[in-house]
Structure 1
Amino acid sequence: MKRLEGKVALVTGAVGGIGTAIVEDFLAEGAKVILCDVKADDVLARVAELVKAGHPVFAAPANIVDAAAVRDAVDAAVAKAGPIDIVVANANIGGRPATLAKTSAESWRADIGDNLAGQFNTIATAIDGMKARRSGSIVVVGSVNGLTTLGQPAYSAAKAALVSYTRTMATEYGAFNVRANIVCPGTVRTPAWAERVKNRPETFETLMKWYPLRRVAEPREVAKAITFLASDDASFITGAMLPVDGGLMAGNRLMANELTHEEL
């Protein structure tokens, strides 16, 4: 039996790099998938493509920062797909200002809205049903930016808050047999990096030296971790924070080299 057989999953940021990989892996594991993304035309086109290929997918185009809009879109999809068993709160907007000195009140609010408030709005569309059925799995997509200082302070603050939010959900919703976990990816080779790579083609190669695995992640590698946490294979895992970062948070090899005068 497939891991997600018979499950209905809501995936936000569903037509982005990681979102596309999540949808593909969930479908391969037997789930019905509701695709939610602010890019309405892309959602409708992707859903049409997947339906034509025989996959059980449903469109819920919406900006998750708009609580009413995302609820209306998800409710319409649920009427066709059935009650939601899994939420993957994946949608996010990459950090805007790189430093506090360049961060304005407006950009701070925008990053918090896109990367924190939007996740709350998304999960709110499904949590009452999960609690009533006493079953559900929530996977939040955070970032290593929420675990250490890597620039983009407003984005990072939102990602750090998601760790606390996830643990609070695990604590409060556990009595209803609803699990909540968060994955924190490092650098992932997605279209979101296109502009930076265009300006500096060596970007990924430059970053590789910081990762013990000496490479950056592919979207499918993040998706596989999410599929595991969403599935019943992780039935006793809740409140966990899982870095999917090639060892970045394990330690600083370059600094260790300087301290020990040895190449590790």
Structure 2
Amino acid sequence: MSFKGKVVAVTGAAGGIGQAVCRYFAGEGAVIAAIDKKDTVSSFADELKRDGVKTAYAVADIGDAEAVAKAFAHLAAALGPVDILINNAGYSDHPTLARTDPKGWQADMNGNLNGAYNCAHAVLPGMQEKRQGSIIAVGSVNGLSALGDPAYSAAKAGMISLTRSLALEYGRYGIRSNIVLPATVRTPLWDARAKKDPKVLATLTRWYPLGRIVEPLDVAKAIGFLASDAAAAITGVALPVDCGLTSGNIVMTRELTLEDF
């Protein structure tokens, strides 16, 4: 599939999934608008430029609506209106409700649900004017079930609803809206956790029917499909990219049936 000349905006671009998404679309000819709250997005953008990719970047916290508006205005001036928005940025720092105070809850909402809204709000007018566009959110299987990180999970569940509302209201303008729901993804975050428990990924793998966890490129390819003309009739969809995690509880099933499959 080709995205030659398409302006693809990726939030959380400096992270593990974000970099994979940027590189995937760049490899298909896209122009990359990289957004992240971390200054490291500048060095990543420079890497893409050295590889011959037309790129611009902005440093912005997606939870700050004013900063988001300025960032997208800057990127539009540099590259043109956004054709495809990947709402990838995400945040979680509160593993349980007991460890989540109101300030922490709001931080997780801003870093996920509110941020996704702010970015969609920034690009919708341009997409409406062109009468085409694609908005793809990176949610989580946490949005479907209680898997810890309750504020983050609630935000991701809200992103599913936001995705469907966008699909419902803006389809008449040729704008499609979908969301992918990854499970455990092999990013630097998990490398850091593995330093605390070297067996953590092996333990998690037991829960996945495919016998492995998700790679960043798996997520990027799913997003690429949803953004492509091959998915022209697909909107409002929440697509698990989870190596089978949500198909059932394989660990419990093994114990119930006394079968190892």
Matches within 5 A, 1:100-115: 100-115=97-112
What is the deviation of 1:96?
2.0
Look up the equivalent residue of 2:112 and give its one-letter code.
N
Find the counterpart in structure 2 of residue 222 from structure 1: 219
Find the counterpart in structure 1 of residue 205 from structure 2: 208
Find the counterpart in structure 1 of residue 27 from structure 2: 28
Q: Secondary structure at the match of 2:98?
A: helix
| Contact preservation (8 Å) 1:188, 1:219 | yes
| Contact preservation (8 Å) 1:183, 1:242 | yes
Of 144, 147, 152, which residue of structure 2 is paired with 1:147? Answer: 144
Find the counterpart in structure 1 of residue 238 from structure 2: 241
| Contact preservation (8 Å) 1:139, 1:229 | yes
Deviations for 1:198-244, whole angstroms, at most 9, x for unmatched residues?
A: 11111111100000011111111110000111111111000001000
Look up the equivalent residue of 2:70 and give its one-letter code.
D
What is the deviation of 1:79?
0.9
Find the counterpart in structure 2 of residue 135 from structure 1: 132
What is the deviation of 1:260?
2.2
% identical equivalent positions: 49
C-alpha distance in 2 between matches for 1:152 and 1:50: 33
Matches within 5 A, 1:119-130: 119-130=116-127
C-alpha distance in 2 between matches for 1:230 and 1:13: 18
Find the counterpart in structure 2 of residue 185 from structure 1: 182
Find the counterpart in structure 2 of residue 71 from structure 1: 69
Find the counterpart in structure 2 of residue 250 from structure 1: 247
What is the deviation of 1:261?
2.7
The unaligned stretches of length 5 or more in structure 1 are none
| Contact preservation (8 Å) 1:3, 1:232 | no
Find the counterpart in structure 1 of residue 5 from structure 2: 6
| Contact preservation (8 Å) 1:32, 1:56 | yes
C-alpha distance in 2 between matches for 1:114 and 1:223: 20
Q: Give me the CA root mean square deviation.
A: 1.1
Find the counterpart in structure 1 of residue 15 from structure 2: 16
Count of matched residue pairs: 261
What is the deviation of 1:102?
2.1
C-alpha distance in 1 between matches for 2:63 and 2:50: 30
Look up the equivalent residue of 2:48 and give its one-letter code.
L
Find the counterpart in structure 2 of residue 52 from structure 1: 50
Of 252-261 and 7-16, the range deviating more from structure 2:
252-261
Find the counterpart in structure 1 of residue 258 from structure 2: 261
The unaligned stretches of length 5 or more in structure 2 are none
Of 148, 168, 171, which residue of structure 1 is paired with 2:165? Answer: 168
C-alpha distance in 1 between matches for 2:20 and 2:33: 14
Deviations for 1:35-87, whole angstroms, at most 9, x for unmatched residues?
A: 000012x1111222221221111112211111111211221111121111100
Normalized against structure 2, the TM-score is what?
0.97
Deviations for 1:139-159, whole angstroms, at most 9, x for unmatched residues?
A: 000001111110111010001
C-alpha distance in 2 between matches for 1:168 and 1:5: 29
Deviations for 1:108-147, whole angstroms, at most 9, x for unmatched residues?
A: 1111111110111111111111011110000000001111
| Contact preservation (8 Å) 1:3, 1:30 | yes
What is the deviation of 1:17?
0.1
Report whether the alignment pairs 1:91 with 2:89. Answer: yes
Look up the equivalent residue of 2:76 and give its one-letter code.
V
